[in-house]
Structure 1
């Protein structure tokens, strides 16, 4: 499937893979092996790791004692991380631990200029969640998107109008 996307879009189209490490019931060794093979075959340009906890220590198997991020960080690739990165400090730690870039989601929703804020202030943190719906409106979000975010459970403060 990835090969078909690559053929259809051409070599200049960047293809990434979002990998939620703790999901899908695969062993960590299988996920890492599969990821390495995909990079070896040059099917993707970057890896977007999304563990629930980057600093979680692997408790079993051949990677026991390593952090989840560390298991993938030594692959010869361009790799980034996503998942609750809402502070300049956390982004910096991920870069220091081997990520080539970080991806933001909620932080970018809360503050459209989040990368500029982080670049200008190394201690910047996104607003604590959940936020009032009015905060999101003032940030330029539509009512439709705010209603969608209510379903995420942790973004829009319950009962806020």
Structure 2
């Protein structure tokens, strides 16, 4: 049986030293120009030094128009390279594989923050986003490819394309995307931009550069049946090194399913994978839940909020599979003691007040 401590090999790029990955976590610690701050670098390096096999950045915008919140990391401009280089070098020295998550906010962006109008695959009257033209879609693909090349120049081992949580790539998969120009309608049309982006990133980077994709499996206008089919197709096609499923809870049932139904994850873990590795995320908070997640048949597991509260969680789980994890709610001071910068403390405390005591 595969163990959390086992290394994991990929078709492209470096092996990860174990099966524990730091989830890409919004932390609002970047500078206003999208460059990495010292506190954001410190937060990520602490998790690398304490055992994670792979450490990923928060969602990093690939174009100014895709910026979605204050304090968001950017990988859209060469001026952001110095901080990215520092982080990549530090992660390598700490022994962790390093990925940048590439994202465009689409209709979930912020005109007030980016200074640019909102765009989406389709006109969205709720947000005021206008529909992208085909030429603009091609430009979007180029933005992702340029950002990936920039990440490689900075020294990162790879990138993960953010196709989840209702951001732009995910919006293309939404049932409201009924474009009739090849970028909507059928599942093949809705997923075309993702395949185009994967191909463009591969062409813009070296043969050993790691390329992954994060997908949501339901909600956000998606259907689980289509996401199962897309996952199967992408893994069979073999262009991805990993597919990372954001499940919200790795034990949950599909939305609206009968209580006797099989867990959502079972729809994905039995799919043929070829050389693509499968990761899962959702309420992995301690040793038992990490071991149970891996035992579903996944290749690696992501840890999110528990890694915010406990910078030592990876090494503690690897040393003790029964490690209970941090106890919530935590205090603001305990977050600071775990190398969480003040903007991240404030974001975590106000966004999830049930998890922070003061």
Q: TM-score, normalised by structure 1?
A: 0.85
- What is the CA deviation profile of residues 105-153 of structure 1, one whole-angstrom value per residue up to 9, with x for unaligned ones? 2122212221110011121122222311000111122212212222431
Judge which range, 143-152 or 131-140, deviates more: 143-152
SS of residue in 1 equivalent to 2:213: strand
Structure 1's unaligned 5+ residue stretches are none
Q: Does 1:110 align with 2:309?
A: yes
Out of 340, 352, 355, the residue aligned to residue 141 of structure 1 is 340
In structure 1, the partner of 2:284 is 85
Q: For the Cα contact (< 8 Å) 2:247–2:282, is it kept in 1?
A: yes
Instruction: State the superposition RMSD in angstroms.
Output: 2.1
Give the total of aligned pairs.
156
Using CA pairs below 8 Å that are at least 6 residues apart, which structure has the higher relative contact order?
A: 2
Q: Rg larger in 1 or in 2?
A: 2
Higher strand share: 2
Out of 231, 235, 239, the residue aligned to residue 35 of structure 1 is 231
Distance in 1 between residues matched to 2:350 and 2:296, nearest whole Å: 33
Distance in 1 between residues matched to 2:341 and 2:298, nearest whole Å: 33
Q: For the Cα contact (< 8 Å) 1:20–1:49, is it kept in 2?
A: yes
